[in-house]
């Protein structure tokens, strides 16, 4: 069985609705079998906005350790991390 611990930024408490509406959360930490993964979480709309802005400004974009979920909520994030961890992060790009 895979051991998973997900922690969120300390200043998230009370701001979950704002974060969900912004569609982006930095500083999510997942420890999977002792390996630490720090990820930035986006919803699809915010991700497309970020990519468009980056391409217009720089002509390219590099986003490392990104997790895309339908909605940026604690529940969606934890479910996605557990799903990827159980599959050994297969299917991720």
Domain-located, residue 72: yes
Domain count, the chain: 1
Domain-located, residue 80: yes
List, in order, residues 6 or more apart from 30 with CB less than 8 Å away: 4, 5, 6, 7, 36, 37, 38, 39, 81, 85
Domain-located, residue 61: yes
Percent of all residues in the chain with a pLDDT value above 90, rounded to a whole number: 65
Domain-located, residue 53: yes
State how far the Cα of 74 lies from the Cα of 7, in Å rounded to an integer: 9
Q: pTM to 2 decimals? A: 0.86
pLDDT beyond 60 at 63: yes
DSSP H or E segment with residue 70: none
Which one, of 30, 16, 22, lies nearest residue 65 by Cα? 30
Domain residues for 12?
A: 4-86
Which one, of 71, 80, 86, 59, lies nearest residue 16 by Cα? 71
Res. 92 pLDDT band, cuts 50 70 90: low
Mean pLDDT of the 77-84 span: 92
Res. 75 pLDDT band, cuts 50 70 90: very high
Domain-located, residue 92: no
pLDDT in tens, 20-50: 999 999 999 999 888 888 999 999 999 999 9
């Amino acid at each position: 069985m895979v051991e998973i611990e997900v922690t969120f930024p300390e200043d998230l408490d009370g701001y979950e609705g704002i974060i969900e509406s912004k569609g982006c959360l930095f500083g999510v930490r997942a420890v999977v079998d002792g390996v630490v993964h720090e990820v930035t979480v986006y919803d699809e709309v915010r991700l497309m906005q970020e990519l468009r802005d980056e391409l217009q400004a720089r002509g390219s974009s590099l986003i490392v350790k990104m997790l895309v979920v339908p909605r940026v909520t604690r529940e969606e994030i934890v479910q996605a991390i557990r799903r990827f961890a159980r599959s050994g992060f297969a299917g991720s790009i």
